[in-house]
Amino acid sequence: MIESWRWYGPFDPITLPEVAQTGAAGIVHALHEVPYGEVWTNDAIAARKAEITGAGFTWDVAESLPIHEAVKRGEGDLSTLFANYRQSMANLAANGIRTICYNFMPLLDWTRTDLRAPLARGGSCLRFDASRMAAFEIHMLGRAGAEDEYSQDVRNKAAIWFQQSSESDREALLHAIMSGLPGAFDRYDIAGLRDVLQSYEGIDRDTLRANYKRFLQEVVPAAEDLGMVFCVHPDDPPRDILGLPRIVSDGDDIDWILSAVDSPANGLTLCSGSLGANPANDVPAIAARFANKIRFGHLRNVRKEPDGSFEEAAHLEGDTDMVALADVFVTEEARRREAGEDFASIPVRPDHGHEILSDIGAKSVPGYPMIGRLRGLAELRGVFRALEYAATRG
């Protein structure tokens, strides 16, 4: 495995010299300051790569090269957006960055209702609370049809929370929901969110799939020519949000994507936390099913609740058997090396982390504290080393 670390560049209070002390070898990074749809220039990529390599790292994955919302909606003349995307790909490849992680989630990236939910033994974690999300959709946003998507018990709790909440409570909830958009991305107030949701009116699951397939048809051949790989990140959480369809939520969705454009360049980011939030998903089994298509790994764990809520667990705790999942990665990497395949080594990173110890009050990017991820990386490193040792012993 290539032990990697997500770094947000100018938006990250954690410095590269600090990351170096974690033992990670690679950096996962994006030019978050570039607006969606614009070209990542060769000069900007080269400058950032020089900063990363100058600190003793490799830049292993571009995460994410974002997709403009017009592409997801399939609206208007998209030729310039597709051309810009391919040019950004070419500029990354020219700088030796050949793996691109991306997602096709409409409007919002990962979604949480609490950025610092308290943990029993101290510290905090990211949390998705179904009743707070229902309160937001039903009582704050007033989205038509939202009531039908939640159980009566969740709706009752949502009404109580809303009645008892202060204006600052509601502002904090909106802020949390918007916080999955890092860097120079748009944030919305309630009125703005209502307006932008209208732009998705009439776009159902089939329409979004058709627009996604068109995107793949536009960029995957270019990736093949450039010697690059794409790896789609699953939806987070793996359920419809704000009435918008999510189409990368389980094994069948992944199978459709990888079959839509059958190519070695069309691959998967195996995110154990995103897939793990769906009670129907057996994450190690999904990883084994698509092992030869995994190009990147996000390793984290979640603890689910019956009403659809979940929160981030420690990396070796939670509902996903992380040792079984790590074994899939070790086995697949060994197979690739034996076969002499390109991209044999899989970049993996500890995804998210608890805010603990000196993380508390450090104002890190939500979900990306220093000590919590360092704990996760150390735990995962131990698992990988033990599995690799066992494999060599037969």
- What share of the chain has pLDDT > 70, as a percent? 98
Residue identified by tokens 């707070």 is: 132
Q: What confidence tier does 185 reach under pLDDT thresholds 50, 70, 90?
A: low
In whole angstroms, give the CA distance from residue 126 to residue 354. 8
- Strands 124-128 and 310-313: what pairing? antiparallel
In this predicted structure, the answer to whether residue 180 has a pLDDT above a threshold of 80 is: no
**Which domains does the chain possess?**
2-106+207-393 (3.20.20.150), 114-197 (no CATH)
- What share of the chain has pLDDT > 90, as a percent? 94
Question: Per the residue annotation, which of 85, 150, 200, 368 is the catalytic one?
Answer: 368
Neighbours of 110 (CB within 10 A): 24
Question: What residues have CB less than 8 Å from 293, skipping those under 6 apart?
Answer: 258, 266, 267, 268
Residue, of 185 and 18, whose pLDDT is higher: 18
Question: What residues have CB less than 8 Å from 269, skipping those under 6 apart?
Answer: 101, 231, 232, 233, 234, 294, 295, 296, 297, 298
Q: Residue 276 has what pLDDT?
A: 98
pTM score of the predicted model: 0.95
Q: What is the DSSP string of 235-252?
A: PSSSS-BTTB----SSHH
Pair 296, 270: CB distance under 8 Å: yes
DSSP state of 146: G
In this predicted structure, the answer to whether residue 186 has a pLDDT above a threshold of 90 is: no
Q: Comparing C-alpha atoms, which of 381, 332, 366, 369 is closest to residue 176? A: 366
- Catalytic site residue 68? no
Radius of gyration from C-alpha coordinates of the chain: 20
Question: Per the residue annotation, which of 114, 235, 236, 351 is the catalytic one?
Answer: 351
**What's the mean pLDDT in 166-170?**
97
Question: Per the residue annotation, which of 139, 298, 315, 354 is the catalytic one?
Answer: 298
Question: Per the residue annotation, which of 101, 125, 231, 271 is the catalytic one?
Answer: 271
- Catalytic site residue 351? yes
pLDDT tens digits, one per residue of 369-384? 999 999 999 999 999 9
In this predicted structure, the answer to whether residue 143 has a pLDDT above a threshold of 90 is: yes
Q: Count CA atoms closer than 13 A to 25's CA, side-chain side.
A: 9
Q: Per DSSP, what are the bridge partners of residue 268?
A: 232, 294
- Catalytic site residue 298? yes
pLDDT tens digits, one per residue of 245-279? 999 999 999 999 999 999 999 999 999 999 999 99
Q: Residue 354 has what pLDDT?
A: 98
Residue identified by tokens 């997709």 is: 67
In whole angstroms, give the CA distance from residue 101 to residue 94. 17
Q: Comparing C-alpha atoms, which of 98, 33, 92, 26 is closest to residue 55? A: 26
In this predicted structure, the answer to whether residue 242 has a pLDDT above a threshold of 60 is: yes
Give phi and psi for 330, each to the nearest 5.
-60, -45
Reported for 316-321, long-range contacts at CB under 8 A and 24+ positions apart, including other chains, are 316/379, 316/380, 316/383, 318/276, 319/276, 320/272, 320/276, 320/283, 320/284, 321/283, 321/284
- Strands 124-128 and 229-232: what pairing? unpaired
Question: Per the residue annotation, which of 253, 352, 354, 359 is the catalytic one?
Answer: 352
Question: What residues have CB less than 8 Å from 72, skipping those under 6 apart?
Answer: 104, 106, 208, 211, 212
**What's the mean pLDDT in 118-127?**
97
- Catalytic site residue 29? no
Question: What residues have CB less than 8 Å from 127, skipping those under 6 apart?
Answer: 112, 113, 114, 117, 309, 310, 311, 312
Q: What does the buried/exposed string (b/e) look like for 369-381 if buried means 16 or more CB atoms within 10 Å of the residue's CB? A: bbbbbbbbbebbb
In whole angstroms, give the CA distance from residue 357 to residue 364. 13
3-state secondary structure of 208: helix
Q: What confidence tier does 234 reach under pLDDT thresholds 50, 70, 90?
A: very high
Question: Per the residue annotation, which of 233, 236, 253, 327 is the catalytic one?
Answer: 233
Kindly give the interhelix angle for 79-94 and 205-226, rounded to the nearest 10 degrees. 40
In this predicted structure, the answer to whether residue 391 has a pLDDT above a threshold of 70 is: yes
In this predicted structure, the answer to whether residue 184 has a pLDDT above a threshold of 60 is: no
Q: Per DSSP, what are the bridge partners of residue 294?
A: 268
Q: Residue 285 has what pLDDT?
A: 98
- Catalytic site residue 368? yes
Q: Residue 182 has what pLDDT?
A: 54
